Amino acid sequence: MRLNVKAFALAVALFWGLALFLVTWWIMLFDGATGEITFLGQIYRGYNISPIGSIVGLVWGLVDGLIGGAIFAWLYNLLASRLASQ
């Protein structure tokens, strides 16, 4: 079975971007907007626990998920086709 690379990449991008956005707001709901740089803030430039940081995290998550999902689906299709031909 082959994966549709574009559809898989878009699904992963939406999942990761929205997850990062919602987790940021979840943390702000219980701990408040600290503005501290977290581990993800060291990876995603401009991300922190704040309303603006959640938007920055959403954008980074969409981009990162799109690239990661496309690479994963492409690699899966490549390996699946090579293993099926054996």
pTM of the predicted protein model: 0.86
At 80, list the tokens: 């699946």
Counting residues of the chain whose pLDDT is more than 90, the rounded percentage is 69
pLDDT at 39 (0 to 100): 84
* pLDDT-flagged residues of the chain (< 70): 35
At 36, list the tokens: 């501290």
Q: Parse the chain into domains and list their residue ranges.
A: 5-84
End-to-end alpha carbon distance in the chain: 15
Q: C-alpha angle with apex 43: 32 to 56, nearest 5 degrees?
A: 55
Query: Which residue, 69, 71, 72, 64, is CA-closest to 10?
Result: 69
